A and B are shown apart, each in its own frame.
Chain A
Amino acid sequence: MGLELYLDLLSQPCRALYIFARSNNIPFEFKHVELFKDSVLGKRPAAGSGAEQPRAGPSNSEGTAKVSLLKKVPALKDGDFTLAECTAILLYLSRKYNTPDHWYPSDIQKRARVDEYLSWHHANIRANAPKTMWIKVLIPLFTGQPLPSEKLQEVMEGLSTSLKQFEERFLQDKAFIIGSEISLADLVAIVELMQPVGVGCDIFEDRPRLMEWRRRVEDAVGKELFFQAHEMILNIKELSNIQIDPQLKEQLAPVLMKMLK
């Protein structure tokens, strides 16, 4: 049994991993996890039985394990070794498969820049970008409630602030975050920013510098691969038409409403 990657391409970190592995010709078995089916209804665990699984979804006092639909992906299984967390997996793969230096430079200062971005990302870009999908698509879909516009505005404002900092501190006038070459930092950033794009909040629209950067990142990984990875999220409106299992709706609705607060 070779390397297995448990992924749902609706998830941003999964896309980063998918693109990275494919772009570097890392051989792996794609284990498709459908977040809204498998993990939510407590079925087949994402990374094999007995494996450690991240479960940091929205919590409620009793059913965290059952209703944890976030963060079960991505997951890696390499023989007996299992690993969660996109950053950890990206680093593991880059080391194990000796990917080109620019992805995670050996130069100590350039590397620090990548680490800096990867750390900052969590509480900033990743704090707000995902919420756009929740608010515009998932909450209306699962709860039948109309989309809460003030909440969306709040989220977009937060995202705007992060984007400003991203441009000012991380990207600046460089081609990529660390300079002239793409690194893990750019990849992790771009997949996150495609989430709002997919649900109709085009954050690149009036940000030409970001748009240029996005084009460079797409070229660096391969346009075709990039679009393939993003096919689902870019067609997310179709998700609105799918039939959601009523049991699923019942389980998720209170959790999602809590997220709104």
Chain B
Amino acid sequence: ELYLDLLSQPCRALYIFARSNNIPFEFKRVQLMKGQHKTEEFRKVNVLMKVPALRDGSFTLAESIAILLYLAQKFKTPDHWYPSDLQKRARVDEYLSWQHANIRAKGSKVFLMKVLLPVLTGQPLSAEKLEFVIEDLNAVLKQFEEKFLQDKPFIAGSEISLADLVALVELMQPVGSGYNLFEERPKLAEWRRRVEEAVGKELFQEAHEGIMNIKNLTADQFAPELLESFKQQLLRQV
């Protein structure tokens, strides 16, 4: 069982990876906006109350990276996803570690500021604050291109790996929020196309349908009793 909300970046990485590799799983939808991650039932799967989460028999697991690695091992997916070559594998590990505080953190903030906060507070976003947040994202995008991608087709070399998948789903969050970061970054745009093709364009688009329509989000899509606490939680993050 995979507990997922496709509005969440790490959930998309999992969904795409599992489907792309024909890993049989039961899709358990957890709608974050409805607070379904806070139910007692879900808490049994993940006491940290976050998605994604996996349940395999009596074994439960949180954290998308851990779940991706678990699935790759258990279902013996093609080597390129997590190469057995020591140095290539290290490159994947390096990206998967670095991304938490960088691409993931900065990309999420753009989504928060451009989409969630305005909807939840009913206030237009502060242009100055948004500019800071975009600048931060730009800085890590530069590092991504210069250090991780460089002139290679994919992060680990000539083939797609978990690193590329995890990276791209994160970048789709600001894109869905209206910041088209691929527009003036041809190298990144090329890489994106390669990743989409490698996993299957149709699957990729299906997984991203929700986030690509996120501009239509309205406050009434949230569970009303949770609106205030969501708002407070988000305000603390900016």
Q: Which residue of A lies closest to B108 (CB)?
A: A123
Residues of A contacting B: mostly: helix
With an 8 A cutoff between CB atoms, is A86 at the interface? Answer: yes
Let me know if B87 is at the binding interface, CB within 8 A. Answer: yes
Pick from A84, A88, A119: contact of B63, CB under 8 Å: A119
Stretch at the interface among B17-25, B89-97, B218-226: B89-97
One of A22-30, A52-60, A241-249 at the interface = A52-60
Is B73 part of the binding interface, using a Cβ–Cβ cutoff of 8 Å?
yes
Known: A56-B140, A96-B86, A169-B48. A88 touches B66 (CB 8 A): no
Q: A54-B147, A56-B101, A59-B135 are in contact. Are A119 and B64 (CB under 8 A)?
A: yes
For B, the interface residue count at a CB cutoff of 8 angstroms equals: 34
Pairwise interchain contact B100-A119, C-beta atoms closer than 8 A = yes
User: CB distance A169 to B65 under 8 Å?
Assistant: no
CA of A89 to CA of B89 in the docked complex: distance in angstroms? Answer: 11
Contact B140 A122 (CB under 8 A): no
A1 within 8 A of B: no
Question: Which residues of the other chain, A, contact B135 by a CB distance below 8 angstroms?
Answer: 59, 61
Tell me the B130-182 residues at the A interface (CB within 8 Å): 135-136, 139-140, 143, 147
B-contacting residues, A27-78, CB 8 Å: 52-56, 59, 61, 64
Task: Looking at the assembled complex, report how far the CB atom of A119 sits from the nearest CB atom of chain B, in whole angstroms.
Answer: 4
Q: Complex: how many Å from CA A109 to CA B69?
A: 11
On whether A108 and B74 interact (CB within 8 A), knowing A56-B98, A92-B93, the answer reads: yes
Question: Knowing A56-B101, A116-B62, A122-B101 touch, does A84 contact B94 (C-beta < 8 A)?
Answer: yes
- List chain B residues, Cβ under 8 A from A122: 97, 100-101
The one of B47, B65, B102, B105 that contacts A168, using a Cβ cutoff of 8 Å? B47
Q: Is B70 touching A108 in the complex (CB atoms < 8 A)?
A: yes
Q: Across the A-B interface, how many residue pairs have beta carbons closer than 8 Å?
A: 99
Q: Which residue of B lies closest to A81 (CB)?
A: B87
CA distance A95 to B92 in the complex (A): 14
**Chain A residues positioned under 8 Å from B91 (CB to CB):** 83, 88
Nearest B-chain residue to A154, judged by Cβ: B236
Q: For the complex formed, measure the closest distance between the CB of A129 and the CB atoms of chain B, giving whole angstroms.
A: 13
Is there contact, CB below 8 Å, between A120 and B90?
A: no
Q: Which of A56, A88, A116 contacts B143 (CB 8 A)?
A: A56
Number of interface residues of A (CB under 8 A): 36
Taken together as a complex, chains A and B put the C-alpha atoms of A115 and B64 apart, in Å, by: 10
Q: Measured between alpha carbons, how far is A83 from B59 in the docked complex, in Å?
A: 33
Contact check, B86 vs A87: say whether CB atoms are below 8 A apart.
Answer: no
B66 touches A119 (CB 8 A): yes
CB-CB contacts of B205-219 with A at 8 A, as 1s and 0s? 000000000000000
Which residues of A have CB within 8 Å of B63?
Answer: 115-116, 119-120
B61 at the interface (CB under 8 A from A): yes
User: A109 CA to B58 CA in the complex, in Å?
Assistant: 11
| A165 partner, pick from B48, B89, B98, beta carbons under 8 A | B48
Greatest chain B CB density within 10 A among A87, A96, A126 is at A87
Given contacts A59-B139, A108-B74, contact A85 B97 (CB under 8 A): yes
User: Is A259 on the interface with B (CB-CB < 8 A)?
Assistant: no
Cβ-based interface call for A91 (8 A): yes
- In the bound complex, do residue A169 and residue B47 qualify as a contact, i.e. CB atoms below 8 Å apart? yes
* A144-180, CB < 8 A from B: 165, 168-169
Chain A residues at the B interface, C-beta cutoff of 8 Å: 52-56, 59, 61, 64, 81, 83-89, 91-92, 95-96, 108-109, 111-113, 115-116, 118-120, 122-123, 126, 165, 168-169
Task: Give the 4 A-B residue pairs with the shortest CB-CB distance, closest first.
Answer: A122-B100, A115-B66, A88-B93, A119-B63
